[in-house]
Amino acid sequence: MRRILPIFCLASLSLVSPGRGQAPVSPFRPGALTPEQALKIRHISDLSFSPDGSRLACVVAELPKGQTPESHIWMLDTARGGFRQFTFSAKSESSPRWSPDGKTLAFLSSRGEHMQIYGMAVDGGEAWALTAAKAGAGQFRWSPDGKQIAFLAKEAPTEAEEKAEKDKDDAKVADRERDLARLWLIDVPQLDETKKAVPGRQVTKGAWQIERFEWLSGNLLLAEASGRPRDETWNAALYTVSLPDGSFALFSQPPQPFGGLTISPGRFTVSFTGPRKGGPTPHDLYFLPAAGGPPRNVTAAVDRGVRAVKWQDDSTAFGAIADGFRARLLRVPASGAPVTVDLPGLAGAFDVARDGTLAYLRGGFDEIDELFLKRPDRQPVQISHLQEENWKGIRLAGAEVFRFPSFDGAPVEAALMKPPQPGKPEAKLPLILFVHGGPAGSFSASYSSWAQVLASRGYQVLMVNPRGSAGYGEEFLKANKADWGGGDFKDLMAAVDAVLARGETDPQRLGIGGWSYGGYMAEWAITQTNRFKAAVSGAGMFDLAAEFGTEDGPAGDEWYFGTPWEHPEAFARSSPYMYIRNAKTPTLILQGENDTVDPAGQSTALYRALKRYGVETELVIYPREPHGPREEKHQLDVLTRMAGWFDRHLSAPAESAEAPR
């Protein structure tokens, strides 16, 4: 299943086997947005109100310098005002979680050899390590009484394993049970007690893969887990986990795939997200009694994908939904119908205090996310001004959202971004068709470094949500099942034709690009049409059957196509390699070396095929990188190469410069 990545987070780079010379990069026009500037963003996430609503914690991430992410916890005093940095370690912190009494904030930090859980008094002071897990700690939750913390961590290595690691005997055995994350338990010292990190007590063992969990009571957890992870299919369910003996008992079997487990503050109601009749992603919100009983779909009438859920109290939850290019909030009572809460510019991340105060991120195509606070019956107030220092006076491009009838009359939505600085009135502009990841992803009205860099260089950027995209109902989401490159591709081309019909676009200067499923669609396009004069494929898919056998998490692709052993024709029909002899379009290929979602072999196979047929191409491989870019220099390189490739083939710059090697 393709993961949905923000486009500022692409893979790290290092050149491998360039094709016919390096892509010249035109000098940036005066006032154009440079890749360096485009990445100067402070990302806000993980909003979390204290139990009494007097404080709000969140995570602010900086662009990583080198290979280490940089994120710290910030704090807002909601009564007195004042938004300040709360943690200052040389490493990073994330996942802030409040103790039930609101006096301690626990969080994950990489300040030691491994990721561990730390605690810090709300009034400040030094943070102290709560865990000393030998393999590092992960997801964690406070107990209802605040005296314990349950967390996920792998088992500590045995002496033989530690010796083998020191001797560089690092052979990896697939599907070992001991490599699965286990549930662990620690007692939390009170603020006035001696603070000492402990390894914790291991609670679970065996072939159980736990994705998420919540406390049901003092001795019982509720876990989203699978007892058959070796199958690599969607077979998870909700289980209770007994803390005294680590035993699992089936609690509920939601429709597959499901996720997003939460529980109301008083632990009366459980919620999760799931489809109605299966795949490709969780869609509707379900409630079920914590005491047991059948789940109830509470957002079926809304028919929009629920992406995050936060509980105000035991009677009310809030859910963020994708509604086309907009994000909205739903107020969902434990009994009754959901009501839409309209927050203009909502960017998805939010939290709600018990008095109904909402904290949320607000952004837009030309507005980088900032933190806002909305008290009941009052207008929203901007809290953070994290972007002002780097973005003052810089003009970003807006976008027009429009609908058009596709090839079969179905309504499809798109957004057209135009250069913020208009050119000559009589000049027709080049256009880049920018394709989102997924396929069950979507574009939203939010900042995109790719789109903004291209628009600043004089390109129109067309962003389409074709069939198969989220945000238009479950049937639309399922409309490209077993049909990648079919109706979805026709939707994209219909969008291009709709823009061309306006008469402002040069039909001889069209480009296409994207990452993941967007990279796949760029590869597909060059085998189906010669209308595009340049293409950029990031971490795409060339041979869907080969990818199924090498990717992590093939269950999503199985929903779309079945398995390649039983349905080889379905995989072949939607694979670009079947039609590669038609390709003529110059294509830049970008790929993370350690990508297990869309493995590097997919890009190298595309590169080899294009070379064989004499198509201009370049392949760039990014060492150390997974499916998305992390290191600053690599993110810069991606933007520079991408823009340079389109400049080379779609515009006529007066000068050129060598691309980075």
For residue range 554-583, list pLDDT tens digits in order: 999 999 999 999 999 999 999 999 999 999
Backbone angles phi and psi of 650, in degrees to 5: -120, -10
> Of 656, 633, 654, 635, nearest to 644 (Cα)?
656
The C-alpha atoms of residue 384 and residue 106 are separated, in whole angstroms, by 23
Per-residue pLDDT, 26: 40
Amino acid at 600: A
Q: According to DSSP H, which parts of 264-398 are helical?
A: 388-391
Scan for tokens 């989220």, then name that residue.
Answer: 470
Say if residues 75 and 55 touch (Cβ distance below 8 Å): yes
Is residue 259 a part of any domain in this protein?
no
Is residue 307 a part of any domain in this protein?
no
CATH number at residue 30: 3.40.50.1820
The C-alpha atoms of residue 582 and residue 578 are separated, in whole angstroms, by 9
Is residue 59 a part of any domain in this protein?
no
The C-alpha atoms of residue 431 and residue 604 are separated, in whole angstroms, by 27
CA dihedral 313→253→231→209, nearest 10 degrees, is 40
Per-residue pLDDT, 191: 63
Angle formed at CA 251 by CA 186 and CA 145, multiple of 5 degrees: 30
Per-residue pLDDT, 193: 67
Name the 3-class secondary structure at 491.
helix
658, exposed or middle or buried, with CB in 10 Å at 0-12, 13-18, 19+? exposed
Task: Please confirm whether the linkage preceding 257 is cis (ω < 30° from 0).
Answer: yes
Is residue 615 a part of any domain in this protein?
yes
Is residue 418 a part of any domain in this protein?
yes
Per-residue pLDDT, 107: 98
**Beta-sheet pairing, 14-15 with 617-622:** antiparallel
Per-residue pLDDT, 6: 37
Is residue 640 a part of any domain in this protein?
yes
pLDDT per position as a tens digit, 115-127: 999 999 998 789 9
The domain tally of the chain equals 1
Per-residue pLDDT, 270: 98
pLDDT < 70 regions, the chain: 1-31, 66-69, 165, 168-169, 191-193, 423, 652-661
Task: Please confirm whether the linkage preceding 439 is cis (ω < 30° from 0).
Answer: yes
Q: Which two tokens stand for residue 591?
A: 């790929």
Residue ranges of E strands in 334-410: 339-341, 346-352, 358-364, 367-374, 381-382, 399-405
Per-residue pLDDT, 156: 85
Is residue 234 a part of any domain in this protein?
no
> Of 606, 453, 632, 628, nearest to 535 (Cα)?
606
How many residues comprise the chain?
661
Scan for tokens 């007692």, then name that residue.
Answer: 187
Per-residue pLDDT, 405: 98
Say if residues 441 and 469 touch (Cβ distance below 8 Å): yes
Is residue 243 a part of any domain in this protein?
no
Please, which residues have CB within 8 angstroms of residue 495's CB and are 6 or more apart in sequence?
A: 404, 412, 414, 433, 462, 464, 466
Range of the structural domain that residue 646 is part of: 14-38+391-650
The overall pTM is greater than 0.75:
yes
Per-residue pLDDT, 510: 98
Amino acid at 399: A
